[in-house]
């Protein structure tokens, strides 16, 4: 019996030793990731989560976030880190970033962490490069250009917001925590049903991005698939909501901190008759110098990186 206990203790000790050695090796490899070259200085943070929490922490100002300020001061303009479970090198140097953007598609390739790919889908826009990526950018520019924005999208958005808010006011509260896990599945189902409906009646045009996608899918040699179209549309939805919320917040804060600008905008729109065309007030504000200048400054300050 004593020999059995001694043998079991030796086996347990060996097991603990092996596990400890494996953990030490794994942590070492995490702190010092393999690289075919020389990595810049930096910190990889905690295992698995890295420095994700510090990166996602809200910044109290519109200046450079504290996450970048601290590391730029400690390590310089280029440093290594770990975000969303993957090692990364962050560059805050203007010349280096310009070179990277100029060499996109040749020396550098657009990419996102695997965690975002799981949210957007394996076939979403960040997984494709070259011709398909240019096709999507061209379509987005055509449909979300200034002319389309002020003549079509903004009036439709304002009408939809008014209608939805009036309907939501009479509805009960929403359990966001319970419904959030099914959000991606519900969005994909809605997009897939809508795309199937459009493919069933391709002759009926709606003047939106789906018209171009349907035309491409029904071509002789389509460069995209239905799965790609669904993932790409969900990605664009997320990108528009993420950037729009920040821009609106910056707009309200900037106008609150500069009452003279609000007064100038108010004087500029006095006497303008508001017609049933929802974008008439926006057109009036955009046509005056104060309005267009304020818009450009707000967009520049709220640029999402």
- Distance of alpha carbon 116 from alpha carbon 198, whole angstroms: 28
Q: Which two tokens stand for residue 137?
A: 């950018």
Residue 74 has pLDDT above 90, yes or no: yes
Are 163 and 202 contacting, i.e. CB atoms less than 8 angstroms apart? no
Nearest to 296 by CA among 268, 270, 271, 261: 261
| Overall average pLDDT of the 129-150 stretch | 72
Q: Which two tokens stand for residue 116?
A: 């975002």
Return the pLDDT at 129: 64
- Distance of alpha carbon 250 from alpha carbon 264, whole angstroms: 19
| Overall average pLDDT of the 251-255 stretch | 81
Question: Phi/psi at 38 (nearest 5 deg)?
Answer: -115, 120
| Alpha-helical runs (H) found in the chain | 2-31, 52-56, 66-75, 94-102, 114-120, 131-143, 146-148, 154-168, 176-179, 183-200, 209-217, 226-257, 259-269, 280-287, 289-301
Are 298 and 254 contacting, i.e. CB atoms less than 8 angstroms apart? yes
Q: Which two tokens stand for residue 7?
A: 């043998």
Instruction: Tell me which of 200 and 301 has the higher pLDDT.
Output: 200
- Residues 231-262: b if buried by 16+ CB within 10 A, e if exposed: bbbbbbebeeeeeeeebeebbeebeeeeeebe
Are 234 and 121 contacting, i.e. CB atoms less than 8 angstroms apart? yes
- Distance of alpha carbon 50 from alpha carbon 47, whole angstroms: 6
Are 113 and 83 contacting, i.e. CB atoms less than 8 angstroms apart? yes
| Overall average pLDDT of the 39-46 stretch | 89
**Local confidence band at 156 (pLDDT 50, 70, 90 cut-offs):** confident
Burial classification of residue 181, based on how many CB atoms lie within 10 Å of its CB (0-12 exposed, 13-18 middle, 19 or more buried): exposed
Q: Which two tokens stand for residue 301?
A: 């300050």
- Distance of alpha carbon 195 from alpha carbon 111, whole angstroms: 26
Angle separating helix axes 226-257 and 289-301, nearest 10 degrees? 120
Return the pLDDT at 275: 46
| Overall average pLDDT of the 160-186 stretch | 79
The answer to pTM > 0.85 is no
Alpha carbon separation from 84 to 50, 115, 163, 192, 233 (Å, rounded): 7, 6, 38, 29, 23
**Local confidence band at 77 (pLDDT 50, 70, 90 cut-offs):** very high
Instruction: Tell me which of 213 and 122 has the higher pLDDT.
Output: 213
- Distance of alpha carbon 36 from alpha carbon 49, whole angstroms: 23
């Amino acid at each position: 019996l004593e020999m059995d206990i001694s043998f079991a203790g030796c086996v347990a000790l060996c097991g603990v030793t092996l596990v400890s050695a494996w953990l030490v090796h794994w942590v070492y490899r995490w702190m010092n990731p393999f690289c075919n070259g020389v990595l810049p200085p930096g910190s990889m943070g905690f295992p698995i989560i890295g420095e994700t929490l510090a990166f996602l922490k809200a910044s109290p100002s519109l200046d450079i976030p504290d996450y970048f300020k601290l590391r730029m001061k400690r390590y310089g303009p280029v440093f290594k880190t770990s975000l969303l479970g993957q090692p990364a090198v962050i560059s805050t140097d203007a010349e280096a970033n310009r070179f990277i953007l100029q060499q996109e598609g040749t020396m550098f390739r657009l990419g996102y962490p695997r965690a975002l790919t799981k949210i957007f889908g394996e076939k979403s826009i960040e997984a494709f490069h070259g011709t398909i990526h240019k096709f999507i950018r061209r379509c987005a520019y055509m449909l979300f250009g200034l002319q389309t924005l002020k003549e079509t999208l903004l009036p439709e958005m304002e009408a939809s917001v008014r209608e939805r808010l009036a309907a939501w006011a009479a509805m009960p509260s929403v359990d966001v925590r319970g419904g959030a896990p099914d959000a991606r599945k519900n969005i994909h189902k809605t997009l897939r049903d809508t795309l199937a409906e459009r493919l069933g009646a391709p002759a009926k045009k709606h003047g939106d991005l789906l018209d171009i996608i349907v035309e491409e899918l029904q071509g002789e040699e389509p460069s995209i698939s239905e799965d790609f179209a669904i993932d790409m549309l969900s990605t664009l939805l997320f990108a528009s909501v993420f950037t729009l919320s920040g821009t609106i917040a910056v707009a309200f804060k900037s106008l609150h901190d500069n009452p003279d600008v609000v007064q100038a905008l108010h004087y500029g729109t006095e006497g303008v008759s508001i017609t049933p065309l929802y974008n008439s007030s926006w057109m009036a504000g955009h046509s005056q110098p104060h309005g267009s200048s304020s818009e450009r400054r707000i967009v520049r300050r709220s640029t999402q990186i």
